[in-house]
């Protein structure tokens, strides 16, 4: 059920050196393992006519360091520029083109109790080939999802703007519930009962030609793809609104789609078994998906400076 295993490559970067994939090990009693103290990013590189290009590398590195700062674990020996350079190198060193890049900063083996401050901060950057997150069929035809019974955390409990490993136990509860009930993924409500986001993606609705996305209310991740897709939608001449979205809007939308580094632009064709619009990927969704894929593959002009070429 769900995703296949990770596709191993040769090298992972750890605190300044490349180690072989199988040697990138961590102690079972590391603070990150016991208590979830890691922050991470998910970044994609795409094949282009000028070699692999990383989509929005600077924004991802900024968010990694923001997450690390929130959790008081900024890498002591590496700057954002260093990690951005490693993100390019890891693609080259593993001879990858279309791939997913995973920088992680974590608290290693050290302190026995809850205080993480005395556990060493370790930084890793991995990469591997990864296709469509919710399946090729899902990208083309749309996915069937539910509203999960688990909620996103209240602001000022788990900081939603930080992408921290421990926070994803909540998303995993949602994902398992969805899969075991026959859905591909789930939409989460925030603590106030309004639509927040998907398990690992942001959400958009389309109603009478207007593109709507939930406000950033401190219960969702500030998606880098979300931001790019809003810009792309405006470039294509669509009206985009960010507003509070009640659950029932999901059942009456003409179109729904997810955005995320992993999910890219994935149409949603049903929610809780209610068809979205005509029960298939909608025209605005597909036009945005097309524009997004053309942009990441450098088939459009990169007018917003989204691409970083790994050999550049």
Q: Please name every residue paired with 300 in a beta bridge, in sequence order, or none if there are none.
A: none
Site for ligand PLP in 121-180 (CB under 6 A): 171
Give the nearest distance from C-beta 129 to ligand PLP in angstroms. 18
Give the nearest distance from C-beta 167 to ligand PLP in angstroms. 8
Complex with ligand PLP: residue 143 or 171, whichever CB lies closer: 171
The verdict on 245 binding ligand PLP (CB under 6 A) reads no
Site for ligand PLP in 16-45 (CB under 6 A): 42
Residues whose CB falls within 8 Å of the CB of residue 131, separated by 6 or more in sequence, listed in order: 98
Give the nearest distance from C-beta 273 to ligand PLP in angstroms. 24
Q: Give the torsion through C-alpha atoms of 10, 13, 14, 16, to 10 deg.
A: 130
Return d(Cα 311, Cα 65) in angstroms, integer: 24
Give the nearest distance from C-beta 19 to ligand PLP in angstroms. 25
The verdict on 226 binding ligand PLP (CB under 6 A) reads yes
163 has catalytic annotation: yes
**Segment near ligand PLP (CB under 6 A); pick from 22-30, 81-89, 175-183, 197-205:** 197-205
What letter does residue 165 receive in the DSSP assignment? G
CA distances in angstroms from 302 to 152, 205, 248, 255, 295, listed in the order given: 35, 26, 37, 27, 7
Report the residue from 138, 223, 267, 277 that binds ligand PLP according to the rule CB under 6 A. 223
Q: How many residues bind ligand PLP (CB under 6 A)?
A: 15
Give the nearest distance from C-beta 203 to ligand PLP in angstroms. 9
**Segment near ligand PLP (CB under 6 A); pick from 3-11, 118-126, 198-206, 274-282:** 198-206
E strands, the chain, in order: 11-14, 17-20, 38-40, 43-46, 53-55, 99-107, 121-128, 143-151, 185-189, 195-198, 202-207, 210-214, 240-243, 255-260, 264-271, 274-275, 307-309
SS3 call for 141: helix
Catalytic residue list: 163
Q: Which residue ranges make up the site for ligand PLP (CB under 6 A)?
A: 42, 171, 197, 200-202, 220-221, 223-226, 259-261
């Amino acid at each position: 059920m769900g995703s296949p295993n990770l596709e191993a490559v040769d090298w992972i970067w750890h605190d300044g050196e490349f180690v072989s994939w199988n040697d990138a090990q961590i102690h079972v009693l590391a603070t990150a393992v016991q208590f979830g103290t890691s922050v991470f990013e998910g970044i994609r590189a795409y094949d282009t006519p000028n070699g692999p290009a990383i989509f929005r590398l600077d924004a991802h590195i900024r968010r990694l360091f923001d997450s690390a700062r929130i959790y008081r674990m900024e890498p002591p020996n590496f700057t954002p520029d260093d990690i951005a350079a490693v993100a390019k190198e890891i693609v080259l060193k593993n001879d990858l083109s279309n791939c997913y890049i995973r920088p992680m900063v974590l608290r290693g083996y050290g302190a026995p109790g809850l205080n993480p401050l005395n556990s060493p901060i370790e930084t890793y950057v991995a990469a591997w080939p990864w296709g469509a997150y919710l399946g090729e069929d899902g990208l083309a035809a749309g996915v069937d999802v539910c509203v999960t019974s688990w909620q996103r955390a209240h602001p000022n409990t788990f900081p939603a703007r930080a992408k921290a490993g421990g926070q994803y136990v909540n998303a995993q509860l949602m994902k398992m519930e969805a899969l075991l009930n026959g859905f591909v993924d789930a939409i989460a409500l925030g603590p106030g009962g309004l639509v927040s986001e998907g398990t690992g993606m942001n959400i958009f609705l389309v109603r009478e030609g207007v593109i709507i996305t939930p406000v950033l209310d401190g219960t969702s991740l500030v998606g880098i793809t979300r931001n790019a897709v809003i810009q792309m939608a405006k470039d294509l001449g669509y009206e985009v609104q960010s507003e509070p979205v009640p659950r029932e809007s999901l059942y009456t939308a003409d179109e729904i789609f997810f955005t995320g580094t992993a999910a890219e632009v994935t149409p949603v064709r049903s929610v809780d078994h209610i068809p979205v619009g005509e029960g298939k990927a909608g025209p605005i969704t597909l036009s945005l998906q097309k524009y997004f894929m053309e942009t990441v593959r450098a088939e459009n002009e990169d007018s917003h400076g989204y691409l970083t070429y790994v050999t550049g």
